[in-house]
């Protein structure tokens, strides 16, 4: 572990079981080292991000379709609420496509009373912020969200099947019984990206799980097992979604902060 790793802390905290089908995790990131740039990788999730330094700004971070560079300042201290893919509509009715690749003030999407209640939970419960957020979200989330189980089932299907071979849009159509057009519309509305993009993002995320424990050649073999036809196919996807070559990503991965969804559902 480097000195920066010791001074830059990121951890994920699971939500209460009652809301675990909607909330992926809470995360806390702090930095007492010098300012630096951090690459944020796409994961198919929407996050609410809260500044804990005293300003208490609250933003919604839309689904990323490619890597983003974030400046992590000295004194950085933020807490995130990460929603599972497709589940942000349980919190607010905004079309997720509007948020794609954007960071926006939460004021534009929730009622002032809802924002005030969330801010109070963040400001007044320093000893147990996570407990306060669990309590708040249990009352704020809409549990009869129409497609909640559909998106969870698709995510589980993808992450469990990708390592054993290529998964296509048509496979998911057969699995759900919905047409390509209907699933495209649903994913844009609820996730923010198309089903094809979500499959690609999930495939890259899944094959990244054990990257630190494999040589580059071994890792390429796992990529082939996950449906990448050859190194050229893998490279084109990495340049599109990660903005770097697979080789560079493999070499840098051990030093990159997992500041994105590291779970495989």
- 140, with CB counted inside 10 A (0-12, 13-18, 19+), is middle
Please state the pTM of the whole predicted model.
0.88
Assigned token pair, 102 = 């954007």
Q: How many Å apart are CA 38 and CA 239, to the nearest integer?
A: 17
Write out pLDDT tens, residues 211-237. Answer: 777 888 888 887 877 777 777 888 888
Give the CATH architecture of domain 3-140: Sandwich (2.60)
Give pLDDT, residue 224: 79
Between the alpha carbon of residue 167 and those of residues 130, 172, 211, 226, the distances in Å are 36, 8, 21, 8
pLDDT band at residue 127, thresholds of 50, 70 and 90?
low
> E strands, 3-144, where?
8-13, 23-31, 36-40, 46-51, 58-61, 68-72, 77-83, 103-105
pLDDT band at residue 65, thresholds of 50, 70 and 90?
very high
Write out pLDDT tens, residues 73-110. Answer: 888 999 999 999 999 999 998 999 999 999 999 988 88
Query: What is the CATH code of the structural domain delimited by 148-253?
Result: 1.10.10.60
Name the nearest CA neighbour of 20 among 106, 105, 82: 82
Tally the C-alpha atoms within 13 A of residue 109's C-alpha that lie toward its C-beta.
21
Coil vs helix vs strand at 58: strand
Q: How many Å apart are CA 90 and CA 133, to the nearest integer?
A: 15
For the chain, the structural domain boundaries read 3-140, 148-253
Compute how many other C-beta atoms are within 10 angstroms of the C-beta atom of residue 204: 24
């Amino acid at each position: 572990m480097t000195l920066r790793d010791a001074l830059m802390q990121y951890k994920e905290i699971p939500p209460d079981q009652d809301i675990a089908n909607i909330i992926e995790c809470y995360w806390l990131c702090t930095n007492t080292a010098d300012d630096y740039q951090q690459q944020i990788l796409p994961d198919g999730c929407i996050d609410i991000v809260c500044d804990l330094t005293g300003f208490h700004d609250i933003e919604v971070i839309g689904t990323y379709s490619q890597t983003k560079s974030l400046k992590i300042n000295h004194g950085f201290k933020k807490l995130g609420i990460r929603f599972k893919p497709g589940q942000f509509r349980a919190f607010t009715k905004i079309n997720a496509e509007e948020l794609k690749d954007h960071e926006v003030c939460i004021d534009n999407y929730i009622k002032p009373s809802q924002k005030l209640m969330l801010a109070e939970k963040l400001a007044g419960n320093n000893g147990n912020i996570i407990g306060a957020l669990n309590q708040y979200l249990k009352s704020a989330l809409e549990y009869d969200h129409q497609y909640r189980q559909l998106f969870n089932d698709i995510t589980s299907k993808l992450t469990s099947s990708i390592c054993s071979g290529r998964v296509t849009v048509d496979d998911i159509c057969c699995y759900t019984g919905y047409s390509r057009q209907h699933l495209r519309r649903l994913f844009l509305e609820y996730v923010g990206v198309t089903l094809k993009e979500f499959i690609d993002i999930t495939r890259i995320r899944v094959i990244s799980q054990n990257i630190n424990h494999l040589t580059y050649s071994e890792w390429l073999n796992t990529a082939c097992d996950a449906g990448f036809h050859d190194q050229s196919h893998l490279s084109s996807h990495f340049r599109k979604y990660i903005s770097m070559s697979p080789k560079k990503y493999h070499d840098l991965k051990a030093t990159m902060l997992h500041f994105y969804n590291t779970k495989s559902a």
